[in-house]
């Protein structure tokens, strides 16, 4: 058994205490170790992704206890892909936080950052639902600290809302887990997927309640529309590098829905029939529409980007709710794109704030160095709005193509195209107010006390945009890979047999193959 699979959890878990104990007064050492840790995690994530790319499912049994009794970590194509995406995003966010000196404006940024990365890695790798809850809490409690990093009254107020909403979400998660355990007697995902199949047709009340509660919890995380109210103010008020890192947090909700509703409650399961097409698809279309209207209506740039995140999550959820192999492949492609684009936009928001001093969408005198920021803004706005030539366009095209054969095709096409148009209008309005109309508003003001953004900040933003370009250029191979990932998700037999049939050293063999006489 290889131990690499647990390294993405163990490494930040060791690094964070080291940073806080040994280097708490030395920002330089903290930065070096933080970046080195993330680089090591990227290397590990690449290694894991390479190992699982042939369809192998990696299994790590903690304490060598066999599956339904011990906790397992499982790495398949989806987990390792999300892990790689998360670590790469974390690197650029960290570089930006260092370049813009956001990490110096409060205490313990790097510690909380490492714990956040640990929670995210654990959530992607775990094969146990209660463990998923625990890792959700790890990433949430680190995000509470990051969210109110550098303080300020508005940030604290938004922080209270964010924490309270997530506390309610966690409580709901526990209710769902309790219901699930009461019905099946296990919380291991592979074991659950077998036991849910065995539930008789007339005893499905409890399991249906559990499945709906679970999708509610994940929808809160993914900010699907009736449950999105926590997102705009917390993402707008959070420090920009933190908001950029949070771009992956909504994807954790999407990941959890993909994992649980392919493995435990697959689409052909009688019990949960109708959950995807009757419920998830309409709310996904709704969040797409509400998000883009929010983009058009926002009065401040940070809120505008937050609503763009809701809209792109709606897009992801539409693709998930279609629930075919093809739509899942395009959903995964779009998840990568929307994470990178949203993160880049949040960082650009901070660049705008630094050069302008505020984020209200009103004309203001131009500032020096706005041309580069305007260019970056345009590229990432094109990305998130889904205009050609960037990967957002390709992703939307794939999703529309996947929706073409199904019955709700008219609705999907109408809402996706309409909301894309509104998003484009919203972003062009913001861009022209911020950068073009500024020229007509008098002479440039001297930048009193405002330092120009550092080179490292631009490198971080440029790096994210370069990744989007690469995501576009290599769309063919990446789509082929997400197709294989979706195929693996729809045939979870290898996953289940790997988890359940691997014997642990410490546990005894199964009774039926130990002795034949009982």
Angle 30-249-143 from CA coordinates, rounded to 5°: 45
Between 345 and 359, whose beta carbon lies closer to another protein? 359
131: exposed, middle or buried (Cβ count in 10 Å: 0-12, 13-18, 19+): buried
Query: Please, which residues bridge with residue 300 across strands?
Result: 360
Between 131 and 312, whose beta carbon lies closer to another protein? 131
In whole angstroms, the minimum distance from the beta carbon of 378 to another protein comes to 23
Residues that bind another protein (CB under 8 A): 130, 134, 137, 140-141, 144, 148, 151-161, 163-164, 167-168, 170-171, 174-175, 177-179, 181-182, 185, 233, 237, 300, 353, 357-360
Is residue 359 helix, strand or coil?
Answer: coil
In whole angstroms, the minimum distance from the beta carbon of 112 to another protein comes to 12
Between 6 and 141, whose beta carbon lies closer to another protein? 141
Between 76 and 302, whose beta carbon lies closer to another protein? 302
6: exposed, middle or buried (Cβ count in 10 Å: 0-12, 13-18, 19+): middle
In whole angstroms, the minimum distance from the beta carbon of 140 to another protein comes to 8
* Residue 314, token pair as written in the block: 């709606």
Q: H or E segment at 32?
A: helix 27-52
Count other C-beta atoms under 10 Å from residue 17's C-beta.
12
CA separation for the pair 341, 391 (Å, rounded): 10
In whole angstroms, the minimum distance from the beta carbon of 175 to another protein comes to 6
CA separation for the pair 261, 214 (Å, rounded): 10
Between 4 and 175, whose beta carbon lies closer to another protein? 175
In whole angstroms, the minimum distance from the beta carbon of 239 to another protein comes to 12
In whole angstroms, the minimum distance from the beta carbon of 133 to another protein comes to 8
Contact 402, 319 (CB under 8 A): yes
CA separation for the pair 131, 123 (Å, rounded): 8
Count other C-beta atoms under 10 Å from residue 117's C-beta.
31
Spell 255-284 as b/e; 16+ CB within 10 A means b.
bbbbbbbbbbbbeebebbeebbbeebbbbb
Between 135 and 261, whose beta carbon lies closer to another protein? 135
Between 233 and 420, whose beta carbon lies closer to another protein? 233
* Residue 28, token pair as written in the block: 């330089």
Looking at residue 104, the DSSP 8-state letter turns out to be G
DSSP sequence for 234-249: HHHHS-HHHHHHHTTH
Beta strands in 346-424 (DSSP E): none
CA separation for the pair 502, 327 (Å, rounded): 32
Between 42 and 179, whose beta carbon lies closer to another protein? 179
In whole angstroms, the minimum distance from the beta carbon of 143 to another protein comes to 11
Between 43 and 164, whose beta carbon lies closer to another protein? 164
Between 81 and 176, whose beta carbon lies closer to another protein? 176
CA separation for the pair 372, 294 (Å, rounded): 26
In whole angstroms, the minimum distance from the beta carbon of 246 to another protein comes to 17
Contact 111, 19 (CB under 8 A): yes
Residue 510 gets the label, from left (phi > 0), alpha (psi -120 to 50) or beta, of: beta
Using alpha carbons, select from 48, 51, 58, 137 the residue that is nearest to residue 85.
48
List phi, psi (to 5°) of 493: -60, -40
Between 41 and 359, whose beta carbon lies closer to another protein? 359
In whole angstroms, the minimum distance from the beta carbon of 443 to another protein comes to 23
Between 46 and 174, whose beta carbon lies closer to another protein? 174
In whole angstroms, the minimum distance from the beta carbon of 353 to another protein comes to 6
* Residue 412, token pair as written in the block: 């999907």
Residues 6+ apart with CB under 8 A from 446: none
């Amino acid at each position: 058994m290889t131990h690499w699979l647990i390294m993405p959890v163990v490494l930040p878990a060791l690094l964070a205490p080291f940073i806080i104990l040994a280097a708490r007064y030395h920002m330089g050492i903290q930065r070096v170790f933080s970046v080195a840790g993330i680089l090591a995690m990227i290397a590990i994530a690449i290694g894991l992704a390479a190992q699982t790319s042939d369809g192998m499912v990696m299994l790590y049994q903690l304490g060598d206890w066999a599956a339904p009794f011990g906790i397992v970590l499982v790495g398949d194509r989806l987990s390792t892909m999300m892990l790689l995406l998360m670590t790469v995003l974390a690197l650029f966010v960290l570089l930006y936080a260092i370049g813009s000196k956001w990490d110096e404006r409060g205490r313990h940024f790097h510690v909380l950052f490492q714990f956040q990365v640990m929670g995210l890695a654990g959530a992607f790798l775990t094969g146990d639902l209660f463990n998923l809850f625990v890792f959700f809490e790890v990433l949430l409690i680190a995000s509470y600290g990051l969210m109110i990093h550098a303080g300020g009254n508005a940030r604290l107020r938004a922080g209270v809302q964010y924490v309270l909403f997530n506390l309610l979400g966690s409580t709901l998660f526990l209710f769902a887990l309790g219901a699930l355990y009461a019905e099946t007697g296990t919380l291991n995902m592979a074991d659950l997927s077998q036991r849910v199949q065995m539930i008789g047709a007339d005893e499905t009340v409890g399991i249906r309640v559990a499945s709906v509660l679970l999708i509610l919890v994940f929808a809160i995380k993914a900010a699907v529309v009736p449950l999105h109210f926590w997102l705009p103010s917390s993402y707008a008020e959070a420090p920009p590098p933190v908001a950029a890192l949070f771009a992956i947090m909504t994807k954790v909700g999407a990941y959890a829905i993909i994992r649980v509703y392919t493995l435990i409650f697959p689409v052909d399961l009688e019990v949960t029939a109708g959950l995807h097409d009757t419920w998830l698809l309409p709310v996904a279309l709704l969040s797409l529409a509400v998000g883009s209207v929010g983009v058009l209506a926002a009065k401040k740039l940070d809120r505008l980007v937050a609503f763009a995140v809701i809209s792109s999550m709606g897009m992801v959820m539409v693709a998930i709710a279609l629930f075919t192999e093809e739509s899942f492949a395009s959903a995964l492609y779009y998840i990568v794109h929307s994470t990178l684009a949203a993160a880049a936009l949040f960082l650009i928001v901070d660049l705008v704030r630094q050069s302008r001093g505020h984020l209200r969408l009103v004309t203001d005198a131009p500032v020096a160095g706005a041309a580069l920021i305007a260019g970056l803004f345009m590229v990432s706005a094109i990305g998130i709005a889904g205009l050609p030539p960037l990967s957002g366009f390709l992703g939307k095209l794939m999703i529309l193509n996947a929706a073409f054969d199904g019955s709700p095709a008219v609705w999907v096409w109408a809402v996706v195209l309409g909301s894309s148009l509104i998003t484009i209008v919203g972003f062009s309005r913001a861009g022209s107010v911020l950068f073009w109309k500024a020229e007509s508003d008098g002479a440039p003001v001297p930048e009193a006390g405002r330092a120009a953004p550092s080179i490292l900040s631009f490198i971080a933003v440029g790096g994210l945009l370069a990744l989007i370009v690469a995501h576009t250029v290599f769309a063919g191979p990446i789509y082929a890979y997400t197709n294989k990932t979706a195929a693996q998700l729809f045939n979870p037999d290898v996953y289940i047999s790997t988890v359940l049939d691997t014997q642990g050293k410490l546990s005894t063999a199964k009774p039926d193959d130990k002795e034949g006489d009982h």
